[in-house]
Amino acid sequence: MTVTQLTDATRNRYDRDAALALARTAETVIVARGKKLVTFAMKVDPPDDDTLAEHLLGPTGNLKAPTLRQGTTLYVGFSEAAYQQLLTGKG
């Protein structure tokens, strides 16, 4: 896996509008919520803005970190299982 862009989340914050715009460019959004993963099929059954924002934004009102884009999939928040699948190519 090659990193094509790295952004410092403490300097470049994504507010609600920016986070929603970023998510809308992905085909799949996978969000870590505690130990659970929530997957949104953005092209097939996109959620409304409020639902998507509820999952994407942290307590500060900005996009959760870490956020990673792999191809057409956007990973938001930390999930060991999701990153393990990403790094091993399984899943």
Give the model confidence (pLDDT) of 29-44 as tens digits.
Answer: 999 988 899 999 999 9
pLDDT of 63:
95
Please state the pTM of the whole predicted model: 0.86
Question: What DSSP line would sit under 20-57, residue for residue?
Answer: HHHHHT-SEEEEEETTEEEEEETTTSPPPHHHHHHHHB
pLDDT of 33:
85
Residue reference for tokens 């990403």 = 86
Give the model confidence (pLDDT) of 5-58 as tens digits.
Answer: 667 767 889 999 999 999 999 999 999 988 899 999 999 999 999 999 999 999
Instruction: List the beta bridge partners of residue 74.
Output: 29, 69
